[in-house]
Amino acid sequence: MKQVDLVIIGGGPAGMAAALGAYRKGVRNLLILDREQQLGGILEQCIHNGFGLHHFKEELTGPEYAARYAEEVKENGIPYLLDTMVLDLSQAADGSGDKIVTAVSSQEGYLQLRAKAVVLAMGCRERPRGALNIAGTRPAGIYTAGAAQKFVNLKGYMPGKEVVILGSGDIGLIMARRMTLEGAKVRAVCELMPYSGGLTRNIVQCLEDFGIPLKLSHTVVKIHGRERLEGVTIAAVDASRKPVPGSEEFIPCDTLLLSVGLIPENELSRAAGVEMDAVTGGARVDQNRQTSIPGVFACGNVLHVHDLVDYVSEEAELAGSCAAEYLMDAAVNAECWEVSARDGVRYVVPQCVRKDADKPFSLYFRVGDVYKDVRIVVKCGEKVLLSRAKKKVAPGEMECLPLNAQVLEQIDGDLTVCLEQKGAE
Amino acid sequence: MEKRNLTCIVCPMGCSLEVTLENGVVSAVTGNTCPRGDAYARAECTHPTRVLTTTVRVSGGVKPLVSVKSAGAIPKEDLFAAMEQINAMTIPAPVQLGQVLIPDLCGSGISLIATGAVEQKGN
């Protein structure tokens, strides 16, 4: 069996940045595995701009952002194997702590690798229609927004002419503009919640620019058509998100795009026995992005869904460099303090912090609702470590709280992150 | 004096801008956290522009399309005319990242450049 120090599963933005992070720390016997025919992951189909402003200080499109990383991977001679699907991740039976990665590859056939460390960077996938329980028939013409994006941007096929979009996440908004530019008529974007899950700039430049109505607190209650979609019935929803009788409206359309959430793709992680976080759908990790299995790290959208690829790269670089440190000093298996989310905060990554943490790190989290004039508070027991005022927080925007060395010194117990009404202190 | 509220679209931060106009001329911009926000607000109130990203058909390549962008922002009202010009063309492979595909998009003086690469088939 081939021996590798570090296997990185996934060659998207997370996998490439993790590989570079490990490479910069001196790891040379590493390998990136990806199921696609090129590095870059989902960025290849994200042809719109807005990527890289934090990381490269300039506005790039998805393919350009991916190309920068792919070039760096190639320049450094980091090996990667494409057209390769990882089927299984397990721990070696000999108690060595090594991991066994099983894959199939068009080039290598059935492939087993023995790795000292693994970085999980498989990304996420879209919630499908089946997860929504929309009543009605099952005609052609219903796609997830990302599938439609792949058809339009990579294959050159238009999924339809008259479109309704359910869900106002960023992919849905981006596709509303894309379909419009390519000649389709987008009749409406319906959003179950009273606020959009997407970035405000996307509501402006993807919907308002083209006069596409955004129907907040609305959902699709019925699908019509036998062979091909003929229309949808939408309805307003009340505060408990139940359709309001009498508010139904029929919209004729041949295409329904679903932009209703992303799910980290963790089949491999679960099968390997990695402890999961039920809220993020990703692994539970410490501040180094190490999972419950020593030597298995996770980063990017497979860990928790990010809004910006810049943050994915940042997190993956950290995971990669920490994997390199693990390879140098594999014996470390430190105790941790727990980090938990409370009072308006839905989740926090990392979920635990090593007691021997000596480098500054950041807490990433999302809130459960839209709040105005709040204070984000990090506590250790009853002690307030950090408190920051925010004008507005929303579930669609990931928050980041850097903890500096001074704060780090004060940690002597479990941490909680919560929201407090401003002025409550 | 007129006040207009905008959301800046230059970057994902999406700053809330307040623009003060006097007789149709922008006299002040507040709420922006960088100079690009100021420039955006001024352009948006006088002559709104957008960067266009789309695809161009490729012949003889390993992929049927190449992703493209306008090298700068073009007038918002020209977006659909630009799409028509772009969709009327087919580029032979190979296409390099950064290659200029249309030197002057819709008379805007802005070029259309490839944001991806497509190799020739069989190579």
What pLDDT, in 10s, does the model give residues A236-265?
Answer: 999 999 999 999 999 999 999 999 999 999
pLDDT band, very low/low/confident/very high, at B123 (cuts 50, 70, 90): low
Hey, are the CB atoms on B12 and A156 less than 8 Å from each other? no
Helices A62-75 & A13-24 angle (0-180, nearest 10): 30
Q: Is A171:A45 a contact under the CB 8 Å cutoff?
A: no
Hey, are the CB atoms on A156 and B8 less than 8 Å from each other? no
Over range A313-321, report the average pLDDT: 96
Hey, are the CB atoms on A205 and B117 less than 8 Å from each other? no
Helices A13-24 & A309-328 angle (0-180, nearest 10): 40
pLDDT score of A425: 41
pLDDT band, very low/low/confident/very high, at B17 (cuts 50, 70, 90): confident
How close does chain A come to B1, measured CA to CA in Å? 24
Task: List the single residue in B7, B80, B115 with the smallest CB-CB distance to A200.
Answer: B7
pLDDT band, very low/low/confident/very high, at A424 (cuts 50, 70, 90): very low
Hey, are the CB atoms on B54 and A44 less than 8 Å from each other? no
Q: What is the dihedral of CA A264, A270, A273, A279, to 10 degrees?
A: 50
Task: List the single residue in A49, A63, A155 with the smallest CB-CB distance to B51.
Answer: A49
Over range A63-85, report the average pLDDT: 97
Greater pLDDT, B24 or A187: A187
Q: Compute the distance between CA of residue A115 and CA of residue A8 in angstroms, rounded to an integer.
A: 10
Asked if the model's pLDDT at residue A381 lies above 60, the reply is yes
Q: Compute the distance between CA of residue A171 and CA of residue A190 in angstroms, rounded to an integer.
A: 13
Which residues from chain B sit within 8 angstroms of residue A50, using beta carbons? Answer: 11-12
The ipTM, to two decimals, is: 0.89
Each residue's pLDDT tens digit, A8-17: 999 999 999 9
Each residue's pLDDT tens digit, A350-367: 999 988 888 889 999 999
pLDDT score of A330: 60
Lowest-pLDDT range of A191-200, A242-251, A268-277, B93-102: A191-200
Q: Compute the distance between CA of residue A189 and CA of residue A45 in angstroms, rounded to an integer.
A: 21
Q: Compute the distance between CA of residue B3 and CA of residue A273 in angstroms, rounded to an integer.
A: 58
Percentage of chain A beyond pLDDT 70 is 98
Tell me the average pLDDT of chain A. 92
In angstroms, the Cα distances linking A342 to A76, A280, A285, A368, A386 are 44, 15, 18, 10, 15
Asked if the model's pLDDT at residue B21 lies above 90, the reply is no
Asked if the model's pLDDT at residue A333 lies above 70, the reply is no
A76 alpha carbon, distance to own chain's centre: 27
Hey, are the CB atoms on A61 and B79 less than 8 Å from each other? no
pLDDT score of B8: 84
Each residue's pLDDT tens digit, A281-301: 999 999 999 999 999 999 999
Would the pTM of this model clear 0.90, i.e. be above it?
Answer: yes
Hey, are the CB atoms on A47 and B80 less than 8 Å from each other? no
Percentage of chain B beyond pLDDT 70 is 98
Over range A110-127, report the average pLDDT: 96
Over range A27-32, report the average pLDDT: 97
Closest CA relative to residue B52, chosen from B120, B102, B8, B1: B102
Each residue's pLDDT tens digit, B107-116: 889 999 999 9
pLDDT band, very low/low/confident/very high, at A422 (cuts 50, 70, 90): low
Hey, are the CB atoms on A49 and B80 less than 8 Å from each other? no
Interface of B with A (CB under 8 A): 6-12, 14, 50-55, 57, 63-65, 67-69, 76, 79-80, 83, 87, 97, 115-117
pLDDT band, very low/low/confident/very high, at A392 (cuts 50, 70, 90): confident
